[in-house]
Amino acid sequence: MAGITGKDAILTEYAEQLARGADAPKGRSLSRDALRRLLRNRAAMVSIFVLVAIVVIAFVAPAFMPWQPRQVDWSAFRSPPNADTLHYLGTDQNGRDLLARLLQGTQMSIIVAIVATFVSVTIGILYGAIAGYMGGRVDAIMMRFVDMMYALPYILFVIILVVIFGRKPILLFIGIGAIEWLTMARIVRGQTLSLKEKEFVEAARASGVRPLSIILRHIVPNLTGPVVIYATLTIPEIIITESFLSYLGLGVQEPQTSLGTLISDGAGVFEVMPWLLVPPAVVLVLMLLALTYIGDGLRDALDPKDR
């Protein structure tokens, strides 16, 4: 399975090479082989370049901007793109530079995605690994809880969390991440059920190693492949969720902004000021497409069945 780099996988790869008449592998590893396949995936490599460019521009360009996100140009209300006034993407209804706000919104969306993904991955790994390793009644009870959480309307649950705990960005990060862990828990649990039957886990168990240490030192490190793939595919979903909440007015609030907030503002005045909607929508689409192709590329590279 993906992410397992044990003795059986290494011996299998070595036998295949001998059957093809190849020499014994010299310095070659499964991770290096996965990297080679990822580099050959043109769509994934282009997507990585696009995503890195967006991140670098979002966090570096504000230092060179002539306008600040909250700075008002009293002579340029609702101004279309104009290089003479240094409003390259125009201004909004309040005279604020759209490019400066777009960079700030992209930063916020990226931070939300990273923090929420970290929260969801951490909870999902620990929950799924414990359920899969313990098995029996513990596994049944824990997974029934996951099933009940799945039955709840996802967006409604996030909205309730935001309303209860407030609209502060850090609470928004945690609220979204605290919901996204369900699928990760199921994936990790399935991988753990297979891993706990392996020889190295049985040897650790026979040596008297405590279950928690086995989970953290032997189970979790062998889940890298599935975790990386799912985390990459989770980021665009979190960005969409944050954008949707911001569109409803429940996400990032002033004076901060996000791509969802900018899209919401632009959608209301699209007929008279289309320049407020198009740039944030284009950035959001580019980020989602890039992350999707990167996730597909990682899945193909890390899954031995696709070799």
Mean pLDDT of 114-140: 87
Total domain count, the chain: 1
Over range 271-291, report the average pLDDT. 88
CATH of the domain at 275: 1.10.3720.10
According to the per-residue pLDDT averaged within each range, which of 56-70, 207-221, 257-271 is highest?
A: 56-70
Structure tokens at 150: 């799945």
Instruction: Please indicate, yes or no, if residue 174 is contained in any of the structural domains.
Output: yes
- Provide the phi-psi class of 166: left if phi over 0, else alpha when psi is between -120 and 50, else beta: left
Query: What are the tokens at 92?
Result: 């909004």
The model's pTM:
0.75
Question: In angstroms, how far is CA 176 from the centroid of its own chain?
Answer: 12
Please state, rounded to an integer, the average pLDDT across all residues of the chain: 79
pLDDT of residue 283: 92
How many whole angstroms separate alpha carbon 306 and alpha carbon 284? 30
d(CA 143, CA 243): 30
Residue with the bigger pLDDT between 191 and 52: it is 52
pLDDT of residue 27: 46
Percent of the chain whose pLDDT exceeds 70 = 83
Alpha-carbon gap, residue 173 to 285, rounded angstroms: 21
Is residue 41 situated within a structural domain? no
Residue 136 placed within a domain = yes
Q: Which 3 state secondary structure label does DSSP give 157?
A: helix
| 251-266 per-residue burial string, b: 16 or more CB within 10 A, e: under 16 | bbbeebbbbbbbbbbb
- 3-state helix/strand/coil string of the chain: CCCCCCHHHHHHHHHHHHHCCCCCCCCCCHHHHHHHHHHCCHHHHHHHHHHHHHHHHHHHHHHHCCCCCCCECCCCCCCCCECCCCECCCECCCCEEHHHHHHHHHHHHHHHHHHHHHHHHHHHHHHHHHHHHHCHHHHHHHHHHHHHHHHCCHHHHHHHHHHHHCCCHHHHHHHHHCCCHHHHHHHHHHHHHHHCCCHHHHHHHHCCCCHHHHHHHHHHHHHHHHHHHHHHHHHHHHHHHHHHHHHCCCCCCCCCCCHHHHHHHHHHCCCCCHHHCHHHHHHHHHHHHHHHHHHHHHHHHHCHHHC
| Residue 102, pLDDT score | 92
Name the DSSP class of 198: S
> What's the whole-number mean pLDDT along residues 12-25?
45
pLDDT of 125 higher than 60:
yes
3-state secondary structure of 171: helix
Residue 72's SS3 state is strand
From 109, 89, 107, 86, select the one nearest 98 (Cα to Cα): 89
Smallest CA-to-CA distance from 217 within 229, 231, 203 is with 203
The token pair that represents 208 in the structure block: 């008297």
- pLDDT at residue 24, rounded to an integer: 39
Q: In the predicted model, what is the mean pLDDT of residues 280-306?
A: 81
What is the spatial distance between Cα 251 and Cα 257, in angstroms, rounded to a whole number?
Answer: 9
Q: Specify if 113 maps to a domain.
A: yes
3-state secondary structure (DSSP) of residue 267: helix
Contact between 193 and 142 (Cβ < 8 Å): no
Residue whose C-alpha is closest to residue 226's, from 262, 271, 191, 264: 191
Residue 148, domain extent: 54-306
The end-to-end CA distance of the chain, in Å, is 12
